[in-house]
Amino acid sequence: MTRGALVATAALALLLGSSADGLRVSLQSTADAYLAGIGDVATVAGRDTTYDYYERLRDDEAAFDSDVPQGYTAEQWGATLRNLSTLDISLARQLLARTYTPMRSVRGLGEVLVRSSRDATMQPVAVYVPADYDPRVAAPLMVFLHGRPQSETELLAPPYIGQLAEATGTIVVAPWGRGYYDFRGAVSDVYDALDAATRAFNIDPRKRYLAGYSMGGFSVFEVGPERPEAWSAVMCVAGALLGSDSARVVSAMRRTPFYVLTGSADQSIPTAYPSATAAFLASNGVNVSFYSQPGGIHRLVTILSILTQAWNDMLHEIVRTPPPTLGSFSLPAAIPAMTYKP
């Protein structure tokens, strides 16, 4: 471990202090109760993912002993761990009690469950609602798809997502999607989350956005064309359009603006992939904006400046056309293996 990492890890221990001990106890007791009642949980949550929620609790507990990840300050990582633990404990307790938090009641960060239109199971959705949300005023909505390996709670737990939501008055919902790779097989869960948010809040129909990070950045091109009229714009962060999806996307979403973001030093998704995506879309007459963060890696926290710019551009319908020298149109054939968590 480098000297900087040692300092950050020591700072994290001081920052969390007794709160870490309290969260550990809550994670342990909730995990024990959840495992004891997991058979009953499976009947409402579905057998495929029921055990995943137990593993989340154990992983959260172990994370308190981990180093501060690259790109985070000790304060940011401490807030992330607190948020993540709180969300995952809430999910487990709701499933155990079969008492579910109404989405409309959430202010700030929360975890809710939405009934699936496909099989009637209860599916997790992380939610962030700005503190000053006023039901009398229509708000923007962003449906944000997580990466892999990642959960919806891991996507929204870092404090910068809430800060962006607060600064722009945007409601953010992040569906779990059953952990399915690139959301294939769980597209209906994404639209269930969209529909639930539209019922729960006063959403501006002109400002409904689909965004995705990493695997989720690939998935927006799979999910979006299913109901292209639902989306005012689409944001792809550290992801890309696959060649196999390209014709369908251009045909269904030619009039939809796209915002494509990449870190120049991304080790998981080579920056050439998002670059090719933006160049391909532009060459086919699609309004596309392109952003590259110098030195940014495959963690959202390292590309916050362009994420903030793209988020605001999207809300204000600003298009930043990629330069003609951006690159070729060699779209990837498959999603590369990903090594970074948030």
Beta bridge partners of 291: 261
- Amino acid letter, 53: Y
pLDDT average, residue stretch 143-164: 97
For the chain, the domains span 1-99, 105-337
pLDDT average, residue stretch 171-178: 98
Strand pairing class (258-263; 139-145): unpaired
Check residue 162 and give its pLDDT: 97
Q: Read off the pLDDT band of 138 (50, 70, 90).
A: very high
Q: Read off the pLDDT band of 324 (50, 70, 90).
A: confident
Check residue 327 and give its pLDDT: 64
Of 335 and 188, the structure prediction assigns the larger pLDDT to: 188
Check residue 334 and give its pLDDT: 87
Q: In whole angstroms, what is the distance from residue 73 CA to residue 3 CA?
A: 14
pLDDT average, residue stretch 97-125: 98
Given a cut of 80, is residue 132 above it in pLDDT?
yes
Q: Read off the pLDDT band of 13 (50, 70, 90).
A: very low
- Say if residues 273 and 249 touch (Cβ distance below 8 Å): no
Check residue 14 and give its pLDDT: 39
The model's pLDDT over 270-315, given as tens digits with 9 standing for 90+, comes to 999 999 999 999 999 999 999 999 999 999 999 999 999 999 999 9
Given a cut of 90, is residue 166 above it in pLDDT?
yes
Cis peptide, bond prior to residue 294, ω within 30 of zero? no
Of 251 and 179, the structure prediction assigns the larger pLDDT to: 251
Check residue 15 and give its pLDDT: 43
What proportion of the chain, given as a percentage, has pLDDT over 90? Answer: 85
Per CATH, which fold does 105-337 belong to?
Rossmann fold (3.40.50)
Check residue 1 and give its pLDDT: 46
Given a cut of 50, is residue 5 above it in pLDDT?
no
Query: Across the chain, what does the average pLDDT equal?
Result: 92
Strand ranges across the sheet with 288-293: 108-115, 122-129, 171-175, 139-145, 203-213, 233-237, 258-263, 288-293
